[in-house]
Structure 1
Amino acid sequence: FIALQSDAPDTLHHGITKVQIVVNGVNANQATLIRNYLQAVVTSWAASLNSQAAPVLNVQTRTRFNEANDSHYYLVPGVIVTIMTMIGALLTSLVMAREYERGTLESLFVTPVGSGEILAAKAATNFLLGMVSLAISMIFAAFVFGIPIRGSLTLLLAVSALFLIVALGLGLVISTAAKNQFLACQFAIMGTFMPALMLSGFLYDILNMPPAVRAITYLIPARYYVTLLQTLFLAGGIPSVIIPCCITLGVFAVALMGIARLKAPKSLE
C-alpha cells in the first residue's frame, strides 16, 4: 500500500494539498509500475499548481504485515515447507524400496500384518519425525529470527500435520512404484522437492509466472501450504484463505493415501 502526500500549496485554497493513493501490492512488479506512474502524475500536477516554486512531494510507503520489509518474514515459512517436504516425501519414498532391495518383504508377508498396515507403520515414524522437525523450526523462527505468529498456534500445527500427511502420501506412492532406492530418490526430488522449491510461491511469485506455469502450480500441494504458513505467521487466521487451502490439501491427502493403498505390494511379484 503506497500513500503519496503532496505538500505543494493549493492555489485555490491556499493550504496544503494531500493526495492518498492506495496500490494493491500483491503483484510486486505491477504495483511498482503503478506507483511510479502515479507518482509522476502527482508530481506533474503539483508543479502545475505553482510554476514559480518547485513543489515539495513527500512519499510515505507502508507495507502491510511486514512494515520493516524483513526478508526473514517471507523466507522462513518457505524453508519450513521445504523441510516438511523433504521429511515427508523424500524419506518416505525410500522405505518400501529399501525393503525390496534388502529382500525383507518376504518375512513381512508371512506375518498376519497386511500391506496397508505395513505402509501405515512406515509412515507413522516419518510423521512423528516431521512434527518434531516442525516444532524445532518454529522455535527457531520465533526466538532466533523473530518471526511473529499472529494466527492460532493450534491451527498452524493442524495444517502442518495435514500437509505432512499429503507429503507422506506422495512418498508412499513413489515408494510402492519404484523398487530401487536410487530411482525412488530421483523421483522424489523431481516430483516433490523441486516443485515445492520452484512452483510453490516460495522463491518466485506465482502471479508473475506465465499462465501455463501458473496453472501447473494448482497441482503442487506445497503451494497451498506456503500460503497457509505465510497467512498464519504474518496475517493471522483469515477464513477465506485458510478454508480453501485446507480443503484442497485434504483432497490431496485422501487421493494420495488411496493410491498408495491400492498400489501397496501384496506379494513379491
Structure 2
Amino acid sequence: MKRTFLLAAVMVAVVCAGTSASAQRKTKKSQLVLDGTVVNVNPLARTSPVEEKLKAKNTPGIEYAPTKTVYLYPKGQRVDQGIVENGVTVTQGPLVSNGLKGAEVAGGWGFVSNVTDSARIDIFIPEKPNGQMVIACPGGGYSGISTWNEGTYAAKWLNDRGIACAVLKYRLPNGHRQIPLQDVQNAFRYCRHHSEDWGIKQIGVMGFSAGGHLASTAETMYVDSTTRPDFAVLIYPVIIMDENATHKGSVDNLLGSEASWTSREDKTFDNWYKGLYEYDGL
C-alpha cells in the first residue's frame, strides 16, 4: 500500500564506513554514535576525487563508501542519451542542459555545487537487504547539494536497518525547473531496472529541505509506474514556492528570477507574454 510520511525531525547522523561487507569485516572497529547505535568504521574506505576534495576542507563524520556510483548522463548534458546496458535503454537522456559551466565545486561540510554533467547516484546496498530501497534527495536550496548530512549519513542509517539507498546528486536547476525532476525519475528507472539484482521489492523517495520539495514533486508528478514512488518521506521539506513562506533563493534557483520570466529584453511579444502567463501560474 502506498504510504506518504511527513516527518518533522532530522535524521540522526550516523558514523560508519566500508566499501563492501568483506572489507568491513577485515578492518572494522566499533564506535558509539549519538543515538546509541554501535557502528563499524572502516578507515580504508575509498572515495571519488570530488569526495576527496570535500574531505580536504573538513573532516566528515563518516567514512562510508557507496557500493557503486552511476553517472546518469555518461555522454553529458548536450547529448540526448541516457544509460544503455546490453543494448537496452535504461534511462532517458537529459533533454535540456541546465546551462552551468565548469567543474563541480566542493565546498565545506560535504556541500557540492555546480552539478552538471556529473549528475549521479551513489548506491549503497546493505549486507542483508530487507527488500526496501530509498532514493535520497539531499537539500541545498537548489544552489548546491548537502551530500554528507543529507546523503551519506542517511544512507548509512538506512543500511544499518536493511534498507538500500541511492543518494541522488542531481543537476542543479539554474532556473530550469524540470531538470531535478528528470534526474530523480531517471534514478527510479535505473533502480527499478536493477531491483531484482539487489533483492529490492519497493522503492520510495526521501528528501530534505529543497530535496524534500524534489521528493514531493517526484511523488506527485510521476509519468508511469516505473517513476512512481512506492512511498515518500519528506523531512523539513520546502513544500510550497510562495515567497512569503519559502527562501527566495530556492525559488529563484528552481524557477528563475521573476525578471528572467517577465523581462521584454531579447524577446518577441508572444514569448514575453507567454513568460508573464507562465510565471503567474507558478
Superposition TM-score tier, normalisation by shorter sequence: under 0.3
Greater strand share, structure number: 2
Q: TM-score, normalised by structure 2?
A: 0.27
Q: TM-score, normalised by structure 1?
A: 0.28
- Structure with larger Rg: 1
